[in-house]
Amino acid sequence: MDLQLTGSRVLVTGGTRGIGRAIVEAFADEGAAVEFCARDAGEIETTEKELADRGAGVRGVRVDVRDGAALRGWVDAAAGRLGGLDAVVANVSAIAVPDTEENWYTSFETDLMHTVRLAKAALPHLEASGRGSIVAISSVSGREADFAAGPYATMKTAILGYVKGLAYQLAGRGVRANVVSPGNTYFEGGFWHGAEQNMPDLYASQLAQNPTGRMGTPQEMARAVVFLSSPVSAFTTGTHLLVDGALSHGIQL
């Protein structure tokens, strides 16, 4: 299927590792020009070099998404460099699971408010595109009460509510808004890789709960994001797509 993304202009927050890196790669492989942000300058440089020959160009910029002014500045500057924006993906998460007061503030700023600020900053550019798309990354923990209940899961739930309302508000303005909620996703250096080494009981219990017998890959999550962002999904807005290998049990109405 041709996703009609050749030449599209895309922003991704947190594009050097895991799901974010896979999203950047997937967009680039569809012929899009992609700009991503991250905090680690060394990881940005490595990602740029490794993806230099992919798509219509991949560029990284050092941004802390908790800094609202810096995030807005990056969006506008990137839109200028790319000649506009067709899609943005709010991917960054603090993954602040322990129930501490500090993690509540960190999760609020990193997970929820960066999503809100990215959407608001990108909106004028997405409207001008005529086929604008916003995709936010939530989590199966935003829908199911599980081990991550607390700051992480609460902010992921809030993202679902925010994006649903955003989709309704923007439906007549040519901009779509959707959510992808990954299930447990395994990659080297990621949360579940660390849990396998340091919290083997948690890792084993979560692995056992998935009827597929495995955790997902970043690439499997990225494909869902890219599909929802593409023009072939032009009538899909306000949706919440779980990609969890049947880990969740509730019926989504």
Specify the pLDDT at position 168.
98
* pLDDT score recorded for residue 114: 98
3 state DSSP class of 102: helix
User: Are 73 and 48 in contact, with CB atoms under 8 Å apart?
Assistant: no
In which band, very low, low, confident or very high, does the pLDDT at 191 lie, cut at 50, 70 and 90? confident
Predicted confidence band at 55 (pLDDT cuts at 50, 70, 90)?
confident
Q: What is the pLDDT of residue 152?
A: 96
pLDDT at 216 over 80: yes
Residues 137 and 110: beta-carbon distance below 8 Å? no
Statement: residue 252 has pLDDT above 80: no
Task: Please tell me the predicted confidence (pLDDT) of residue 58.
Answer: 97
Q: Quick one: average pLDDT of 163-190?
A: 95
Q: How far apart are CA 118 and CA 17, in angstroms?
A: 19
Side-chain-side CA neighbours of 39 within 13 Å: the count stands at 8
Least confident segment among 12-21, 79-88, 181-190, 234-243? 181-190
Kindly indicate whether the domain formed by 9-183+219-243 is annotated with CATH number 3.40.50.720: yes
The span from the CA of 26 to the CA of 225, in Å, is 9
Quick one: pLDDT band at residue 115, thresholds 50, 70, 90?
very high
CA-to-CA distance for 47 and 24, rounded, in angstroms? 10
Q: Return the pLDDT at 29.
A: 96
161 or 250, which is more confident: 161
- Residue 13, pLDDT above cutoff 90: yes
The torsion region of residue 182 among left (phi > 0), alpha (psi -120 to 50) and beta comes to beta
Q: Is the pLDDT of residue 241 over 90?
A: yes
Positions marked catalytic = 138-139, 152, 156
Please state, in angstroms and rounded to a whole number, the distance separating the CA atoms of residues 155 and 145.
Answer: 13
**Mean pLDDT over the full length of the chain:** 95
Q: Name beta bridge partners: 216.
A: 185
223 close to 182: Cβ distance less than 8 angstroms: no
How high is the pLDDT of residue 145? 82
Q: Given this model, what pLDDT does residue 26 score?
A: 97
Exposed / middle / buried, residue 216 (Cβ in 10 Å: 0-12, 13-18, 19+): buried
pLDDT digits (tens, 9 = 90+) for 128-142: 999 999 999 999 988
- Output the pLDDT for position 1: 86
**Between these two residues, 10 and 252, which has the higher pLDDT value?**
10
